[in-house]
Structure 1
Amino acid sequence: MAQARLASCVPLPVDHKTLVNVIEKAKDWALMHGVGMRDRKQFSKDAIQIAPFVLLPSPFPRTEFNKAVELQPILNELMHKVAHDDEFLQHTLQNALQVDEFTANLYDIWVKVRDEGISQSTSLGLFRSDYLLQQPQQNRIKQVEFNTIASSFGAITTYLPCMSRYILRQLGHGDLIKHMPENRALSGLCGGIIEAYDMYGVPSAVVLFVVEEVSYNICDQRFHEFEISEKRPDIQIFRKTLNEIYEETDLNDKKQLVLDGRPVAVVYYRSGYEPAQYPSQREWDARLRVERSNAIKCPSIHYQLAGTKKVQQALAAPGVLEKFMGPGGATSRVRDIFAGLYSLDFDENGERAVEMALADAERFVLKPQREGGGNNIYGPEIRDALTRMRHSRERAAYILMERILPPLVQGYVVRPGAPVPPPISDLVSELGIFGVIIGSKEKILHNKQVGHMLRTKLADANEGGVAAGLGALDSPYLLDL
Structure 2
Amino acid sequence: MSQARFTSCIPLPLEQKTLVGVIEKAKDWALMHGVGMRDRKNFTKDAIQIAPFVLLPSPFPRTEFNKAVELQQVLNELMHKVAHNDDFLEHTLQNALQVDEFTANLYEIWVKVRKEGIAQPVSLGMLRSDIMLESRCPHTENQCAKHTPYCSWKQVEINSIASGFGHLGPVSREIQSYILRQLGCGDLIKNMPENKALSGLCSGIIEAYDLFGVPGSVALFVVEEVSYNICDQRFHEFEISETRPDIIIYRKTLNEIFEEASLNDKKQLMLDDKVVAVVYYRSGYEPAQYPSQREWDARLRVEQSTAIKCPSIHYQLAGTKKVQQALAAPGALEQFLGAGAISGRVRDIFTGLYSLDFDDSGERAVEMALADAERFVLKPQREGGGNNLYGADIREALLRMRHSRERAAYILMERILPPLVSGYVVRPGGQVPPPLTDLVSELGIFGVIIGSKDKIYSNRQVGHMLRTKLADANEGGVAAGLGALDSPYLLDL
Aligned-pair distance for 1:25? 0.6
- Counterpart amino acid of 1:58? S
Partner of 1:122: 122
**1:170-319 superposed matches below 5 A:** 170-319=182-331
Contact 2:126 2:161 in 1 (8 A): yes
Aligned-pair distance for 1:136? 2.1
Number of residues of Structure 1 aligned to a counterpart in Structure 2: 481
Distance 1:7 1:86 in 2: 47
- 1:466 has 2:466 as partner: no
- Counterpart amino acid of 1:4? A
Distance 2:168 2:96 in 1: 35
- 1:105 has 2:105 as partner: yes
Counterpart of 1:34 in 2: which secondary structure? coil
Partner of 2:87: 87
Aligned-pair distance for 1:175? 1.4
Partner of 1:61: 61
Counterpart of 1:107 in 2: which secondary structure? helix
Distance 1:169 1:328 in 2: 46
- 1:4 has 2:4 as partner: yes
Q: How does the TM-score come out when normalised to structure 2?
A: 0.97
Contact 2:353 2:412 in 1 (8 A): yes
Aligned-pair distance for 1:374? 0.6
- Counterpart amino acid of 1:268? Y
Distance 2:221 2:47 in 1: 22
Distance 1:157 1:94 in 2: 36
Contact 2:2 2:136 in 1 (8 A): no
- 1:49 has 2:57 as partner: no
1:179-236 CA-partner distances (Å, limit 9, x unpaired): 0000000000000000000000001100000000000000000000000000000000
Partner of 1:30: 30
- 1:169 has 2:181 as partner: yes
Aligned-residue sequence identity (percent) comes to: 81
4+ residue runs over 3 A deviation: none
Distance 1:87 1:170 in 2: 56
Partner of 2:348: 336
Distance 1:158 1:16 in 2: 28
- 1:358 has 2:370 as partner: yes
Distance 1:107 1:321 in 2: 22
Counterpart of 2:2 in 1: which secondary structure? coil
Aligned-pair distance for 1:380? 1.3
- Counterpart amino acid of 2:12? L
- Counterpart amino acid of 2:35? V
Counterpart of 2:343 in 1: which secondary structure? helix
Unpaired stretches in structure 2, ≥5 consecutive residues: 138-149
Distance 1:420 1:330 in 2: 48
Counterpart of 2:41 in 1: which secondary structure? coil
Contact 2:126 2:201 in 1 (8 A): yes
Distance 1:53 1:319 in 2: 41
Q: How does the TM-score come out when normalised to structure 1?
A: 0.99
Aligned-pair distance for 1:139? 1.1
Distance 1:330 1:83 in 2: 19
- 1:420 has 2:432 as partner: yes
Partner of 2:146: none
- Counterpart amino acid of 1:303? Y
Counterpart of 2:214 in 1: which secondary structure? coil
Aligned-pair distance for 1:164? 1.0
Distance 1:197 1:390 in 2: 48
Counterpart of 2:74 in 1: which secondary structure? helix
Unpaired stretches in structure 1, ≥5 consecutive residues: none
Distance 1:19 1:194 in 2: 42
Aligned-pair distance for 1:2? 2.3
Distance 1:468 1:116 in 2: 39
Counterpart of 1:401 in 2: which secondary structure? strand
Distance 2:115 2:480 in 1: 37
Aligned-pair distance for 1:346? 0.4
Counterpart of 1:255 in 2: which secondary structure? coil
Counterpart of 2:422 in 1: which secondary structure? strand
Distance 1:201 1:475 in 2: 37
- 1:145 has 2:157 as partner: yes
Aligned-pair distance for 1:357? 0.6
Aligned-pair distance for 1:156? 1.6
- 1:14 has 2:44 as partner: no
- Counterpart amino acid of 1:65? F
Distance 2:62 2:458 in 1: 27
Contact 2:355 2:411 in 1 (8 A): yes
